[in-house]
Amino acid sequence: MPVNPPRNDPPPATAVVLCGGASRRMGGADKTALPFAGTTVLDHLLDSLPADWPVVCVGEARHTQRSVTWTRESPPGGGPVAGMAAGLALVATPLVLLLAGDLPFAGPAAAHLALVAGKRRAISPPFPATSAVVATDEEGRAQPLLGAYRTEALRRAVPDEPGGARLMGVLEHLGVEFVPLDDRACLDVDTPESLARATQLAARS
């Protein structure tokens, strides 16, 4: 009886995690490296992402518990669109999850957004032009750094000179479906107060 050869299908998605930024509201400290729930803010996020997703981290390379590929935006400190462009250069999957590195609880939400994006690809109208599935917080604000994107569509939307470009300007070139998420998933640790709140939430888990 013939044996089917092992499948070597690519993973369903790649996570691009942006770890740069000046962290001014944290006094200039690298907020993704701050101690959090027995690990760091970044490691807490990475550990919650699906195990079969490759991960590209954009920023100054450092040790992480999960194996990731590091790259750097050009110019360094050039903003989120520059970070996005650098990460996209290393993505080989048709779907990319764009995530801020200071979202410690975003892993399950990212998996959900990827699932929604996969379903939109598989069906006919009313979603024929959906190329991005982006979270909104409880106040209805779009969170483009918590979203699932068609890789090629996102590449086309990134400007030739991404340094300093507006992140929301990239969304203007995409067919976006917005998905409301709870406050926990969208909680970014960018102030001492938000770090304290996230620590309290983690302790209750």
b/e code 36-57 from CB counts within 10 Å (16+ = b): bbebbbbbbbbebbbeebbbbb
Average pLDDT of the segment spanning 127-145: 88
Q: Which of 131, 108, 102 is nearest to 53 (CA)?
A: 108
Beta carbons within 8 Å of 187's beta carbon, 6+ residues apart: 103, 104, 105, 194, 197, 198, 201
Lookup result for tokens 């027995």: 38
User: Who has greater pLDDT, 45 or 128?
Assistant: 45
Q: What are phi and psi of 29, to 5 degrees?
A: -70, 150
- What pLDDT score was predicted for residue 17? 98
Torsion angle of alpha carbons 101, 107, 112, 117, nearest 10°?
40
- Residues paired with 177 in a beta bridge: 133
pTM over 0.85: yes
pLDDT in tens, 20-65: 766 666 766 788 999 999 999 999 999 999 999 999 999 999 999 9
∠ CA 97-103-107 to the nearest 5 degrees? 50
Q: Helix, strand or coil for residue 182?
A: coil
* Domain 14-204 = CATH 3.30.479.30: no
Average pLDDT of the segment spanning 148-172: 94
